[in-house]
Amino acid sequence: MRSRTSLEFIDLSAGGVLFCQDRWAWQRMNKARARPSMNRRAFIFSSMAAFPVASVLGQTFSNNAKIRIGQIGTRHAHASGKIKAIRAQSGAYELIGVVEPDLKRRRRLSETNAYRGVNWMTEEELLGTKGLQAVAVETEVAELVPTGIRCIEAGMHIHLDKPGGDSLPLFRELLDKAEAAELTVQMGYMLRYNRAFQFMYRAVRDGWLGRIMEIDCMMGKLANEDTREAIGRYPGGGMFELAGHVVDSIIHMLGKPRSVRPFTHRTQSDGIADNQLAVLDFVDATATVRINHRDPFGFPRRRFQVAGDKGAIEIQQLESGDVTLYLDEPRGSYKKGVQEIALGKDGRYDGKFKDLARVLRGKKRFDWSYEHDLNVQEALLLASGMPTG
Q: How far apart are CA 178 and CA 89, in angstroms?
A: 25
**Between β-strands 67-72 and 59-60, what pairing exists: parallel, antiparallel or unpaired?**
unpaired
Sign of CA dihedral 277, 230, 167, 79: negative
CB 367 within 8 A of CB 6: yes
Tens digits of per-residue pLDDT, 264-309? 999 999 999 999 999 999 999 999 999 999 999 999 999 999 999 9
Instruction: Give SS3 for 56.
Output: strand
Residues sharing a CB contact under 8 Å with residue 263, sequence separation 6 or more, in sequence order: 276, 277, 278, 279
Tell me yes or no: is domain 59-187 CATH 3.40.50.1170: no
**39 CB neighbour count, 10 Å cutoff:** 11
User: Residue 320: its pLDDT value, please?
Assistant: 96
Sign of CA dihedral 351, 354, 355, 356: positive
Instruction: Give SS3 for 298.
Output: coil
HSE, CB side, 13 Å, CA atoms: give it for residue 142: 5
User: Residue 61: its pLDDT value, please?
Assistant: 57
User: Residue 18: its pLDDT value, please?
Assistant: 33
Going from the first residue of the chain to its last (389 residues), give the mean pLDDT of each consecutive group of 10, the final group possibly shorter: 37 32 35 32 31 39 84 97 97 98 97 97 98 98 98 99 98 99 98 97 98 98 95 97 98 98 98 98 98 97 98 97 98 97 94 96 95 99 97
Q: How far apart are CA 197 and CA 352, in angstroms?
A: 13
* Identical fold between 59-187 and 195-345: no
Shortest CA distance to 7 belongs to which of 37, 308, 24, 246? 24
User: Residue 64: its pLDDT value, please?
Assistant: 75
**Between β-strands 134-137 and 157-160, what pairing exists: parallel, antiparallel or unpaired?**
parallel
Indicate the domain borders of the chain.
7-49, 59-187, 195-345
Q: How far apart are CA 236 and CA 232, in angstroms?
A: 8
Q: Which CATH number fits domain 195-345: 3.30.360.10, 1.20.1290.10, 3.40.640.10, 3.30.70.270?
A: 3.30.360.10
Write down the pTM of the prediction.
0.84
User: Residue 63: its pLDDT value, please?
Assistant: 67
Q: How far apart are CA 193 and CA 348, in angstroms?
A: 8
Phi, psi for 310 (deg, rounded to 5): -130, -5
Sign of CA dihedral 133, 161, 92, 183: negative
Q: In what order do the strands lie in the sheet with 157-160?
A: 120-121, 93-99, 67-72, 134-137, 157-160, 185-187
